[in-house]
Structure 1
Amino acid sequence: MGVFSHSDGIAARRAAACGFGMAGKARGERALKVGVVGATGVVGQEMLRLLEKSPLGEEPPHLLASSRSAGQKVAWRDQELTVHCLDENADLGGLDISLMAAGSDTARQWAPRFVVAGGAVVDNSSAFRLDDQVPLVIPEVNPEMISKGPGIIANPNCSTIILLLALKPLWCLGPARIIADTYQAVSGAGRSGLEALEREGSGGEFRPGDPFPFPIHGNLFPAIGPVDDEGVTAEERKML
């Protein structure tokens, strides 16, 4: 694919970035520069919390988000970082790894651009999970796949990750059938889902504009997402 073409210099830089924890000072090189896309969202905030404790967080990350969040200040250790707008004027150069937590549409539009600019991308959305050219990686399960692909690494969804972490030690036994039940957090719907839960739990009313079709407080939905022609829900399809 032409959009992923790159020079030898960029390829070498991306290969170093794809070493992740092995890169940086441990390799006698500069610390990696990390970008976080969707830095003000629920997942983006958790990424920042983990980066603070990670070797990848040796340097402050470059924070990017939509125009609604641009200009906000985000706490990072003993300082505040400014959130920059992800738009046509955004400077994507200089980032070795970009962690994307901004949804599928944003990932499809921007992940290839980060790659062209010379960095690797780890995408948390569903945008590339079914793309044969993009490795779908759980580090504890198939880390060898990290360096294979066009510079984008896709994450499976949360339920799939947890299931496969449990199954990997059993895989040598050749399981013939797997029955999986998942109970998923309201936070999967993002900040708006958490706000709806908190409001309803405080006695507020259900609002039609909420991310859920029915009140969520004290409730349990039997399925997540639409049902396809085979009777499989969108959430089930992610695990197949």
Structure 2
Amino acid sequence: MTHRIHLAIVGASGVVGSKMIEILEERQFPIEKLYLFASKRSAGKTITFNGESIEIQELTEDSLQAPIQIALFAAGGSISEKYAPVAAEKGIYVVDNSSFWRMDPAIDLIVPEINKEQLESPSQIIANPNCSTIQSVLPLSALTKYGIKRVVYNTYQAVSGAGQAGIDDLVNHTSNNFPYSINENVIPQIDVFLDNGYTKEENKMIEETRKILGLKDLAVTATAVRVPIHTSHAVSINVELEQAFDLDTIRQELAAVDNIVVVDDPGQLSYPLQSQAAGHDEVLVGRIRRDSSVENGLNLWVVADNLRKGAATNTIQIAEALVKNNLV
């Protein structure tokens, strides 16, 4: 990366937006100028980036224009619905963290380790997947050679996935964001319920998995649960494969995937913990074992920092690819 980019963050004052700023500096993203946008109530606040104090501006329809080349959105679906097309029409690449554009067939849904080739000629708006989906499809991508027949997800998701309001409920022992106190419960509801009894979060994981892996008819089911942990999601993944497999080979193939770390030594009580993943970009995979209840069944326990690889880091990896491919 030799040239420098004019880059904007929409939702700069939120939990994910703040993490984006931190990771842009950490990864030394080649920024010529950083533009920060948020709601009117956050306008005027300042954030330090690379030793420079940058003032947050109120987002308006005139905000996103040249010389901005890439805009990272972390402000929710309604903002993305309204402002992402405005930016795209002005030639700005939008990388959107909301769920609004993900299932649009004209929009690329990207986990760079899996489908970065789509970023050689990407859609103008690029969708960042759901946090739990990102960490789940990474190990699944190593298993597609065996033929994936069915996937069962059970998630254990940290409160930071619900933004600052979720964190506040945990810290302050309130239930302003969650329907019940998160301090004494695990809550088997993330997002609203749909007519089929699934929540929107569960439906996101199902549909996004199919799209990212390119398996539109894949049998997938999910139960998404909120747990009283600040950061890092865990997902129990049960996979039924078409072909027989060797467990040692599976471990080697998982470890060969970029940004997967296998932590799997039950004899030493070594398995992924949410506290181990927090603050890191790697996806930790362990409890790798056969499911003897079905032919060619496999169980995995997958943990990752939902604010980093599950959101901000994956978004910035997409932006890095746009620069590397000379698209900006």
- The TM-score with structure 2 as length reference comes to 0.60
- Cα gap change, 1:192 to 1:171, in 2 (>3 Å): same
2:181 corresponds to 1:171: no
Counterpart code for 1:191: Q
Q: Of 218, 221, 227, which aligns to 2:193? A: 227
Pairing of 1:176-215 with structure 2 (within 5 A): 176-200=149-173, 206-207=174-175, 210-215=176-181
CA distance in structure 1 between the partners assigned to 2:64 and 2:95 by the alignment: 18
Deviation at 1:153, TM superposition (A): 0.3
2:35 corresponds to 1:62: yes
- Retained in 1: the 8 A contact 2:64–2:87? no
- Retained in 2: the 8 A contact 1:186–1:193? yes
Q: 2:282: which partner in 1?
A: none
Q: Of 63, 81, 103, which aligns to 1:130? A: 103
CA distance in structure 2 between the partners assigned to 1:134 and 1:103 by the alignment: 17
Q: Of 71, 82, 104, which aligns to 2:77? A: 104
- Retained in 2: the 8 A contact 1:60–1:76? no
- Retained in 2: the 8 A contact 1:120–1:152? yes
- Retained in 1: the 8 A contact 2:71–2:92? yes
Q: 2:204: which partner in 1?
A: 238
Q: Aligned to 1:216, what secondary structure does the other structure show?
A: coil
User: What do the CA deviations read for 1:136-189 (whole angstroms, capped 9, x no partner)?
Assistant: 111111111224454000011011111101111111110212122111110111
2:83 corresponds to 1:117: no
> Using CA pairs below 8 Å that are at least 6 residues apart, which structure has the higher relative contact order?
2
Q: Of 109, 132, 142, which aligns to 2:115? A: 142
- Retained in 2: the 8 A contact 1:94–1:118? no
Counterpart code for 1:114: A
Pairing of 1:78-89 with structure 2 (within 5 A): 78-89=51-62
CA distance in structure 2 between the partners assigned to 1:228 and 1:102 by the alignment: 23
- Cα gap change, 1:91 to 1:157, in 2 (>3 Å): closer
| Structure 1 residues not aligned, in runs of 5+ | 1-23, 201-205
Q: Aligned to 1:75, what secondary structure does the other structure show?
A: strand
Counterpart code for 1:139: P
Counterpart code for 1:236: E
CA distance in structure 2 between the partners assigned to 1:168 and 1:216 by the alignment: 33
CA distance in structure 2 between the partners assigned to 1:170 and 1:149 by the alignment: 26
Q: Aligned to 2:82, what secondary structure does the other structure show?
A: helix
Q: Aligned to 1:109, what secondary structure does the other structure show?
A: helix
CA distance in structure 2 between the partners assigned to 1:60 and 1:215 by the alignment: 42
CA distance in structure 2 between the partners assigned to 1:90 and 1:58 by the alignment: 18
- Retained in 2: the 8 A contact 1:34–1:56? no
Q: Aligned to 1:183, what secondary structure does the other structure show?
A: strand
Q: Aligned to 1:111, what secondary structure does the other structure show?
A: helix
CA distance in structure 1 between the partners assigned to 2:64 and 2:97 by the alignment: 21
Structure with more of its chain in strand, by fraction: 2
- Retained in 2: the 8 A contact 1:133–1:149? no
Counterpart code for 1:177: R
- Cα gap change, 1:59 to 1:175, in 2 (>3 Å): same
User: What do the CA deviations read for 1:44-75 (whole angstroms, capped 9, x no partner)?
Assistant: 01101110023434334111111111111011
Q: Aligned to 2:148, what secondary structure does the other structure show?
A: coil
Length, aligned pairs only: 206
- Retained in 1: the 8 A contact 2:75–2:98? yes
- The TM-score with structure 1 as length reference comes to 0.81
